């Protein structure tokens, strides 16, 4: 579905030359949920903007369904971190969600309203259609932003640290919302986050980036059960092992290199979850 090939991005101008992304290569299969993590300032948002067609790469390419991305591609929706800046405060919730649909000339007004109602129901905001964004909590505003993306009926959903500005309890609720929507809609999701636990909890795979200039340091298959919940999944020894592995790689990236490979053991016959092999003498 999505291929990032040898992506490189250099910012130039006003006497500066900053190589934000050096050589990024990875891919997503249709219907996959992949999280991207890395050290602060490693170019995660630059990557997402290139994938979304909002930023032209210096070299390399992004392919969506085999077609090179040269601008915002159809069938793709983006949810940004700053929900307060992505919603129009003078427009009611229903109108904020409907706004991108007005560009689709083939959609009738009743069909647009149907998509809006379905999207608001999907994110649990049936009763807020007539409210203004400023009347809602931060978590509810981000749900509106997600509803707007869902109403677009995307094949690919790009999310740029969408829960960074909400409290921990709201964040947990929104994480479960994304997992549920991903399973119900069958959409392909690329989720950028700085939160290691969030990446392991949400993703089917975690792409770990190096420090800037950025390359892919490791790709980790999560392998946790499809049905996840905040209590039991996070208490699973395999979750702990995986988050430890990601944390080790990010700390190593800050030092300028990958961590030593520590393979995860396959699940034992007695059902004991796998854990890192102990390499200490």
> Does residue 158 fall inside a structural domain?
no
> Does residue 78 fall inside a structural domain?
no
Give the integer Cα–Cα distance in Å for 112 and 101.
Answer: 7
pLDDT confidence band for 263 (50 / 70 / 90): low
Work out how many domains the chain is built from and give that number. 1
| Mean pLDDT, the chain, integer | 84
pTM of the entire predicted model: 0.84
For 94, 117, 172, 237, the CA distances from 147, given in Å and listed in that order, are: 10, 9, 17, 34
Give the integer Cα–Cα distance in Å for 247 and 267.
Answer: 22
For 26, 110, 119, 165, the CA distances from 250, given in Å and listed in that order, are: 18, 49, 36, 22
> Does residue 252 fall inside a structural domain?
yes
> Does residue 148 fall inside a structural domain?
no
> Does residue 61 fall inside a structural domain?
yes
Please tell me the predicted confidence (pLDDT) of residue 258: 57
Report whether 254 contacts 211 (CB < 8 A). Answer: yes
User: Could you tell me the residue range of the domain that residue 57 belongs to?
Assistant: 1-31+39-66+196-281
pLDDT confidence band for 271 (50 / 70 / 90): very low
Report, in angstroms and rounded to the nearest whole number, the Rg of the chain calculated over CA atoms: 20
Please tell me the predicted confidence (pLDDT) of residue 200: 93
> Does residue 85 fall inside a structural domain?
no
Encode pLDDT of 184-211 as tens digits.
Answer: 888 999 999 988 999 999 999 999 988 8
Please tell me the predicted confidence (pLDDT) of residue 257: 60
Task: State the average pLDDT over residues 175-182.
Answer: 89
> Does residue 4 fall inside a structural domain?
yes
> Does residue 273 fall inside a structural domain?
yes
Say yes or no to pLDDT of 148 above 70: yes
């Amino acid at each position: 579905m999505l291929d990032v090939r040898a992506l490189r991005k250099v910012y130039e101008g006003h006497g500066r030359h900053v190589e934000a992304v050096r050589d990024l290569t990875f891919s997503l299969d249709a219907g996959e949920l992949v999280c991207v993590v890395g050290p602060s300032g490693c170019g995660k948002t630059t990557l997402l903007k290139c994938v979304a067609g909002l930023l032209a790469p210096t070299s390399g390419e992004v392919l969506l369904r085999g077609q090179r991305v040269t601008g915002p591609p159809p069938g793709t929706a983006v949810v940004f971190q700053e929900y307060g800046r992505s919603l129009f405060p003078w427009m009611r919730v229903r109108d904020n969600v409907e706004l991108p649909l007005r560009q689709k000339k083939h959609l009738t007004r009743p069909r647009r309203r149907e998509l809006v109602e379905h999207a608001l129901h999907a994110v649990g905001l049936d009763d807020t259609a007539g409210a203004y964004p400023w009347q809602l909590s931060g978590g509810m505003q981000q749900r509106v932003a997600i509803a707007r993306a869902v109403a677009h009926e995307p094949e690919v959903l790009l999310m740029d640290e969408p829960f960074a500005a909400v409290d921990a309890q709201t964040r947990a609720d929104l994480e479960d919302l994304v997992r549920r929507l991903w399973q119900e809609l069958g959409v392909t999701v690329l989720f950028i986050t700085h939160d290691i636990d969030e990446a392991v909890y949400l993703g089917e795979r975690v792409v770990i980036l190096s420090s800037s200039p950025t390359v892919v340091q490791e790709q980790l298959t999560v392998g946790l059960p499809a049905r996840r919940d905040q209590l039991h999944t996070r208490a699973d020894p395999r979750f702990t092992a995986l988050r430890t592995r990601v944390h080790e790689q990010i700390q190593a990236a800050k030092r300028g290199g990958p961590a030593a490979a520590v393979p995860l053991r396959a699940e034992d016959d007695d059902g004991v979850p796998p854990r890192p092999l102990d390499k200490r003498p």
